[in-house]
């Protein structure tokens, strides 16, 4: 699961751990709307997020 709030990027890993980081760490993401941030895709076997 990948989710963005107004201020955070939240990723739930396959082992149920949750990683959260502020969007300000990603300048391009921090400028996106919530609609744009909801438009993501998983790369490969979960090797990355686009």
For residue 16, the 8-state DSSP code is: S
The rounded mean pLDDT for the chain is 92
Cβ-contact 39, 48 below 8 angstroms? no
Of the pLDDT bands very low, low, confident and very high (cuts 50, 70, 90), residue 46 is confident
Distance separating alpha carbons of residues 43 and 27, to the nearest angstrom: 21
Which run of H or of E encompasses 35?
helix 34-37
Of the pLDDT bands very low, low, confident and very high (cuts 50, 70, 90), residue 31 is very high
SS3 28: helix
Cβ-contact 1, 19 below 8 angstroms? no
Greatest CA span in the chain, whole angstroms? 30
């Amino acid at each position: 699961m990948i989710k963005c709030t107004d201020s955070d990027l939240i990723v739930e890993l396959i082992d149920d751990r949750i990683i959260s980081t502020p969007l300000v760490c990603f300048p391009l993401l921090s400028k996106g709307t919530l609609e744009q941030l909801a438009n993501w895709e998983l790369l490969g076997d979960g090797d990355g997020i686009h």
